[in-house]
């Protein structure tokens, strides 16, 4: 074959260039299509399972709650469910909560008489209306520990020295029209009546379970050892209240147990979403929450729309309705506080909607949380759950966030105005509310 002249070589280079450009265009088109899928978050997954949830409202400004239908409950998990259904009888030393699946809405009734009430018990939602009150004599009830939960204490000590108390640990929540029983370890343990606790949710619930464990005398950095990242293992359960149940130390001790699952999904993602529904039959008290996150746990570029969120909540409620007989507590979700490091005292009124749309905070969609709370509160009340409404009081507490004390602030300029440090007013006051609910001083 004779060698190509200059014109021939030019034509060959031009053809090669055209082919390369065509390949690049095709690759860019494929990438654009894939990104389109990322933005809209697994519409295919939702569509495949929508045969069980045909009447879920479409995403719009206000999505109204519709009661679960029987086919949603019956078809939620295929296969043999026998190993995961709650046992018929109580564990030794426990009473069996009544949870009748046939008596309509508000099915759950607390089988226990109130253990302790103040002269002004908190009926209904009276405990949600109040203010944070500073108590200069108040001191943290346990030692700050851990790379993550202890970051505020380390940063504060570095800045102000070892003898100053972080003032966010000195606030207490005071309802306007009722009185809460202050934290008491023995009273909390007695209120369990030998029942173990399981919590399911995201890293905020993980922080709370660690804080509660420390309030009950636990030691060690359990969050650092367990956590919610892809590289850590799940909680194995922590023995609590041993001195109040000495006959249970070697035989089914009382425990607190946490599993990560941000949206209470029934599927598994490595170290992010555990199959929580397989463990609930072992725990007579089940505390559930779906947190403040608006993105997929396994791929944070993929967002969770309100429609997706309500789909997951209905599916979780169907799981509980199908498998569980016990005490269900739904914890509401709070909003973070944009630019939290700028605050020096608690709020007296919640932040405005515009405050949650400032700068980078708009992308977090914290402003959507009240509507989600309204929906899930209606859903879980209809499931017979107690509602532990921590959102109103937490929305008024901008102090104690990790903020600029976050471990990654210096290396990555990472600030955290959602998670709180421990000890601190927020998580510890959640435990006070939980105790008041269990002893019967909060009557829902």
Residue 59 resides in a domain: no
Structure tokens at 219: 């030691």
Q: What is the DSSP string of 112-138?
A: SPPS---SS-EETTGGGSEEEEE-TT-
30/104 same-domain check: no
Mean pLDDT for all residues in the chain: 80
Q: Are residues 26 and 81 in the same domain?
A: no
The reply to whether omega before 79 is within 30° of 0 (cis) is: no
Which range marks the domain in which residue 29 is found?
6-40
When divided into structural domains, the chain yields a total of: 2
SS3 label, residue 330: strand
**Could you tell me what percentage of the chain is helix, strand and coil, using 3-state DSSP and rounding each to the nearest 5?**
40, 10, 45
| Domain shared by 30 and 121, yes or no | no
Structure tokens at 368: 């959507």
Does residue 54 lie within any of the structural domains? no
Q: Does residue 152 surpass a pLDDT of 50?
A: yes
Give the CA-trace dihedral at 15, 17, 19, 20, to 10 degrees.
170
Instruction: Encode pLDDT of 315-370 as tens digits.
Output: 999 888 888 878 899 999 999 999 999 999 999 999 999 999 998 899 999 999 99
CA distance 326 to 96: 7
364: Cα separation from own chain's centroid = 15
Same domain, 34 and 74: no
Residue 51 lies in a domain: no
The neighbouring-strand residues paired with 260 are 201
Q: CB–CB of 380/444 below 8 Å?
A: no
Percent of the chain with pLDDT over 90: 43
Cβ-proximal residues to 269 (8 Å cutoff; 6+ apart), any chain: 297, 298
User: Does residue 292 sit within a domain?
Assistant: yes
pLDDT tens-digit map of 385-426: 899 999 999 999 999 999 888 877 766 667 899 999 999 999
- pTM score, whole prediction: 0.80
What is d(CA 205, CA 197) in angstroms, rounded to the nearest whole number?
Answer: 13
- Could you tell me where the DSSP H helices lie in 123-184? 151-160
pLDDT at 164 over 50: yes
Which pair of tokens denotes residue 347?
């709020």
Same domain, 341 and 384: yes
Q: Is residue 48 part of a domain?
A: no
Predicted confidence at residue 19, as pLDDT, reads: 77
The two tokens of residue 213 are 């464990």
- The verdict on residue 45 lying in a domain is no
The pair of structure tokens assigned to 230 is 């892809």
As a whole number, mean pLDDT of residues 80-105 equals 47
Strands 98-99 and 401-403: unpaired
CA 210, CA 226: separation in Å to the nearest integer?
10
Other Cβ atoms closer than 10 A to 377: 17
């Amino acid at each position: 074959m004779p060698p190509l002249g200059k014109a021939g070589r030019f034509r060959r280079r031009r053809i090669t260039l055209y082919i390369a450009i065509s390949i690049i265009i095709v690759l860019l088109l494929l990438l654009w299509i894939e990104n389109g899928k990322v933005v809209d978050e697994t519409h295919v997954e939702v569509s495949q399972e929508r045969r069980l949830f045909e009447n879920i409202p479409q995403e719009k400004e206000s999505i109204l709650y519709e009661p679960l239908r029987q086919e949603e409950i019956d078809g939620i998990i295929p296969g043999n469910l026998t190993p995961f259904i709650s046992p018929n009888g109580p564990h030794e030393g426990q009473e069996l909560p009544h949870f009748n699946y046939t008596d309509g809405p508000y099915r759950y009734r607390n089988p226990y008489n109130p253990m302790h009430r103040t002269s002004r018990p908190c009926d209904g939602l009276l405990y949600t209306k109040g203010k944070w009150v500073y108590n200069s004599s108040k001191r943290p009830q346990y030692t700050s520990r851990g790379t993550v939960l202890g970051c505020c204490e380390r940063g504060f000590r570095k800045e102000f020295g070892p003898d100053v108390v972080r003032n966010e640990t000195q606030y207490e929540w005071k309802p306007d029209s009722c009185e809460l029983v202050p934290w008491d370890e023995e009273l909390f343990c007695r209120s369990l009546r030998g029942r173990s606790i399981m919590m399911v949710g995201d890293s905020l619930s993980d922080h709370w379970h660690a804080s509660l464990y420390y309030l009950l005398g636990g030691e060690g950095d359990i969050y650092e050892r367990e956590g919610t990242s892809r590289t850590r293992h799940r909680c194995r359960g922590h023995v609590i209240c041993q001195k109040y149940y000495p006959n249970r130390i070697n035989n089914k001790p009382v425990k607190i147990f946490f599993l990560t699952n941000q949206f209470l999904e029934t599927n598994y993602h490595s170290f992010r979403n555990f199959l929580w529904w397989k463990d609930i039959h072992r725990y007579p008290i089940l505390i559930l929450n779906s947190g403040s996150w608006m993105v997929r746990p396994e791929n944070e570029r993929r967002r969770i729309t309100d429609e997706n969120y309500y789909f997951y909540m209905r599916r979780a409620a169907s799981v509980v309705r199908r498998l569980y007989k016990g005490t269900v507590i739904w914890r509401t979700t709070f909003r973070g506080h944009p630019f939290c490091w700028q605050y020096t005292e608690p709020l007296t009124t919640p932040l405005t909607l515009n405050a949650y749309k400032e700068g980078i905070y708009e992308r977090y969609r914290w402003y959507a949380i009240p509507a989600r709370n309204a929906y899930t509160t209606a859903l879980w009340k209809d499931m017979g759950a107690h509602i532990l409404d921590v959102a109103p009081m937490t929305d008024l507490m901008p102090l104690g966030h990790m903020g600029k004390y976050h471990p990654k602030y210096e290396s990555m300029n990472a600030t955290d105005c959602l998670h709180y440090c421990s000890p601190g007013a927020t998580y510890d006051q959640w435990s006070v509310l939980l105790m008041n609910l269990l002893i019967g001083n909060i009557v829902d």
